[in-house]
Amino acid sequence: MFSYRHAFHAGNHADVLKHTVLIAMLQHLVQKDAALTVLDTHAGAGLYRLDGDYARTSGEAADGVLRLAQADAAALAPALQAYLELVRAFNAGTGVKVYPGSPFIIQHLLRAQDKLKLFELHPSDLRALTRNVAQLEAGRQVAVLHEDGFEGYKKFLPPPSRRAFLLCDPSYELKSDYGRVQDLVADALRRFATGTYAIWHPIIGRPEAHELPRRLKTLATKAGKPWLHATLTVKSAKLGAPLLGASRRPGLPASGMFIINPPYTLKPALQAALPQLSQLLAQDGHAAHQLLVQA
């Protein structure tokens, strides 16, 4: 269960989608004065070097954040401008060598009264996360917890301020993760029905991956809660022709973000951003996007 390292994938197309959505949501949620409690169930290391050995091995950032960063910023949708602006805040000069993971993106947007709970089990990522968070000098605002995020979130719902946002983005390396995500959402809605819940998921040729969004929609609908489902496809899931390297695994072709109780501002933000993402990050003629909403 400890073989997955997000450092290999930092800044890829899935991160671009996930973090664009994350920023757009948090920018709205922090407009209310009441304190917000944010839970990140699979925090990772927090910060990643795109010029490091891990990222260079996969090269995934080249077709993600680095490609987007080369676009004409003035022509980008506001949500994509906000995403790139935040990423650049962690970098000196015009290049992008440091990529902020969800913990640092969240903390960057929080106010003094807000709280952030970070869960991480991987020993190496936990050590890196602890070191990275210490540099923030955020005091008691940020807590790093060596716990299973699928269980640890429970003690924080509902929060004292009655405002909570939970991000769940496991690696899905274990097939059981799909069922655990479903159980987490069902339990979280029972504990705190008015919280905002964001679930990242891969779109791959696996029955569990196909079923998860449908089951999340059923859970939200039965609870009487609005939901939003955004997906981004950058390439075909099939292996390429022999001349294009058919012997290699095709890599992740698509991913999605499923949101329960989304801010009302998220739909228009993604209506503008998703078409640009599918165009700018396309790796072949199968690039596409979809935005489904139930109010």
Contact 71, 81 (CB under 8 A): no
Known catalytic residue at 284 = no
Choice among 15, 114, 125, 169 that is catalytic = 169
Task: List residues with catalytic annotation.
Answer: 169
